[in-house]
Amino acid sequence: MVLQRLKHSLSLMIRLIIAEFTKISRTRSLVLFLIAPAIVVTLAAFTIGHPLDRASWQIIWQSALYLWSSFVFPLYIAIIATRINGNDHQNQTWRLMLTLPIRPCHLYFAKLFVEWALLASANLILILVYSAGLLVSIKSDPIGFMPENNFIMLVAGLSLVFLPVLFIQHSISWFTSNTTLPLTLGTLLSFAAGPVNIGFSEQGWLYYPWDYGLRFINNKLDIVTSKLTIHFSQCEFLGLTLGSFIIACLLIAPWLNRRDIH
């Protein structure tokens, strides 16, 4: 009986996820979602000129990685969450969707998965743009200059590092019909990530997930108290963000079915 219910829920979630992707593919938003990483690298490239060797391209990559993790990616999360949930708010399709034999939590997590998939795809495209640009920039012996695994792992890890931010932005956009509020809030909090990174160097940063990206790529994950210093490796920190995300999802699931969507 339990296995049958799990199978039914999984089948339902898959259909909802496909439906959400179908809705996105019919809009121009998908194009924006996909080209954003390339735009970030291009902007970084124009700040220092055209690369002619590997060292120059690595400087571009470091600039792009800083810009992406400190501001663009968390802002990107706010845009995606607001856009995907805002479509249903604006078109008043919540009621129609919930007349189907589904629970609000099913729709909530289907949209959450779609948003995460788009974010992971954006990071993948950023890696591909970096790899292609590196090979094109090197005129001599391009085979010897393959992308550095460290950079690739950092970008891939951002998809997990920002899971708490995704959860917060998705929840605000889910419960708020005003699409301006979550986008404005996400923009302001993303802008503040840099100052927070500088001003809260001990333990305060842990309560500000918009700062997680910068600390992750710089490997500054120490929590300093008056008695001891706790250091997280990058892998341990990924486990921490993933674990907190799972706990938050488990806590909100029962509440979703009791709370109305406006």
Domain positions in the chain: 2-256
Q: Structure pTM?
A: 0.86
Q: Which of residues 106 and 203 earns the better pLDDT score?
A: 106
Mean pLDDT computed over 167-185: 90
DSSP SS3 for 223: strand
- Looking at residue 144, its pLDDT comes to 47
Residue range 134-173, pLDDT digits in tens:
676 665 445 444 556 688 889 999 999 999 999 999 999 9
pLDDT for res 245: 97
In three-state secondary structure terms, 125 is: helix
Residue 56 has pLDDT above 80, yes or no: no
Which amino acid is present at 133? Answer: G
Q: What is the pLDDT of residues 221-261, one digit of tens each?
A: 877 766 777 788 899 999 999 999 999 999 998 888 765 55
Contact between 61 and 154 (Cβ < 8 Å): no
The rounded distance, in Å, linking the Cα atoms of 25 and 2 is 35
Q: Which helix (H) or strand (E) holds 259?
A: none
- The two tokens of residue 260 are 């109305």
Q: Write down the H helix ranges in the chain.
A: 2-25, 29-48, 54-67, 73-91, 94-98, 104-137, 149-161, 163-175, 180-191, 193-199, 212-218, 234-256
Residues 20-43 have a mean pLDDT of: 71
According to DSSP, the residues that pair with 223 across neighbouring strands are 230
pLDDT of residue 180: 87
Is the pLDDT assigned to residue 187 strictly greater than 60? yes
* Mean pLDDT, residues 106-112 taken together: 90
What's the mean pLDDT when you consider all of the chain?
80
Contact between 205 and 225 under an 8 Å Cβ cutoff? The reply is no
